Homo-oligomer: A and B are copies of this chain.
Amino acid sequence: MTIGFEIIARDGAARAGRLITAHGVIETPVFMPIGTAATVKAMTPDGVAATGARLILGNTYHLMLRPGAERVAALGGLHKFMNWPHAILTDSGGFQVMSLAGLRTISEKGVAFRSHIDGSKHVLTPERSIGIQRLLGSDITMAFDECTPFPSERAAVEASMELSMRWAERSRRAFVARDGHGIFGIVQGGVHADLREKSAKTLMAIGFDGYAVGGLAIGEGQATTFAMTEATVPFLPEDRPRYLMGVGKPADLVGAVKRGIDMFDCVLPTRSGRTAQAFTRHGTLNLRNARHADDPAPLDADCRCPACAGFSRAYLHHLVKAGEILAAMLLTTHNLTYYADLMAKMREAIMAGTLAEFEAPP
């Protein structure tokens, strides 16, 4: 059977649940750290798991180019390759291929593009994307779609969404069912509620194991992200997981969970960890700032992470100024722990029926 999803508590539109995959059970709502190139940057797999993460995201586009999906398969699959025993969701490559402006051409068949690494030619179709994700061994496969740029004319958004729906059907057909593995469809439709509804209904008719809301968090603003989430969720099945792609800041996560989203991914905690930014319950800190140079306090005195247990802001500031790798290691550890704990607290609030009072972090 496919991946399982059990809802164990509801609070308004929000749900607390359990996602059951071939590589373990994941409590939802959940944030997925990004493991682009078969590594969550600056982290060991043990370190990622210690933050509480049990589900990470891998990028089909990056992995197909380097080291190559067939190579990963020959080496035992992505879990073994990167020594991550827990669950993996892979994106379809669609979003990243679309970003290769000037290097790609789109047709009904799929997308032809040149590698950003060496200029070599590649083609990504729904069938090839699903095939790659199978070679990688993803627990959760994403349908191949076109992420419509924002802003776009309504007619272009509609045509793009319709193409994504035809690709979704081909993706679903190409997916080979295996125990504990599933495929998610992706709702498109830009900032148009009626197109979002139409897309959601089309996907439901095809039938997926979970449903993602795609094409958001690309410049339309939080209010519109929330509005499109509200325009989509009512048309998705109650008993299947919902994933808001590419989101987001802590306050975005809180707002989206309140609107019924179960899953998230974003580069923010990891990328910020490599650019001296730390998320805390009292706001964001820039460790490059000289005001931290003599501060013996940790990032957050109440945080359970090893960075907060052992190191001062003064030390982290020093590491940042000196360009030391340990700065990225410690700040990424802290940020992923912060994100995992934020999700865990929302889950507790849902189970206690108090999510409405749950305040978005500054």
The residues in A between 296 and 326 inclusive whose CB is less than 8 angstroms from any CB of B are 296, 306, 310-312, 314-315, 317-319, 321-322, 324-326
Given A81-B314, A314-B67, A315-B38, the answer on whether A294 and B74 have CB atoms closer than 8 Å is yes
| Chain B: CB-nearest residue to A67 | B318
A294 touches B39 (CB 8 A): no
Known contacts A325-B329, A328-B325; is-contact A319 B39 (Cβ 8 Å): yes
Contact partner, A41, options B42, B66, B325, Cβ 8 Å: B325
User: With contacts A44-B306, A74-B294, A325-B42 known, is A311 near B83, CB below 8 A?
Assistant: yes
| Chain A residues engaging chain B, CB cutoff 8 angstroms | 37-39, 41-46, 66-67, 71, 74-76, 81-83, 293-294, 296, 306, 310-312, 314-315, 317-319, 321-322, 324-326, 328-330
Residue pair B296, A75 in contact (C-beta under 8 Å): yes
Complex CA distance for A83 and B46, rounded to whole angstroms: 20
Chain B residues within an 8 Å CB radius of A310: 45, 83
Q: Chain B: which residue is nearest A82 at the CB level?
A: B315
Residue on B nearest A65 in the bound complex, by CB? B322
Contact B294 A324 (CB under 8 A): no
A sample of 27 inter-chain contacts (CB < 8 A) reads A37-B319, A38-B318, A39-B322, A39-B324, A41-B324, A41-B325, A42-B325, A44-B326, A44-B329, A44-B330, A66-B318, A66-B321, A66-B322, A67-B314, A67-B321, A71-B293, A75-B294, A75-B312, A75-B314, A81-B314, A81-B315, A82-B315, A83-B310, A83-B311, A325-B325, A325-B328, A329-B329
Closest beta carbon of chain B to A322's beta carbon, Å: 5
Output the least CB separation between A296 and chain B (Å).
Answer: 6
Smallest CB–CB gap between A74 and chain B, Å? 7
Residues of B within 8 Å of A322, CB to CB, are 37, 39, 66
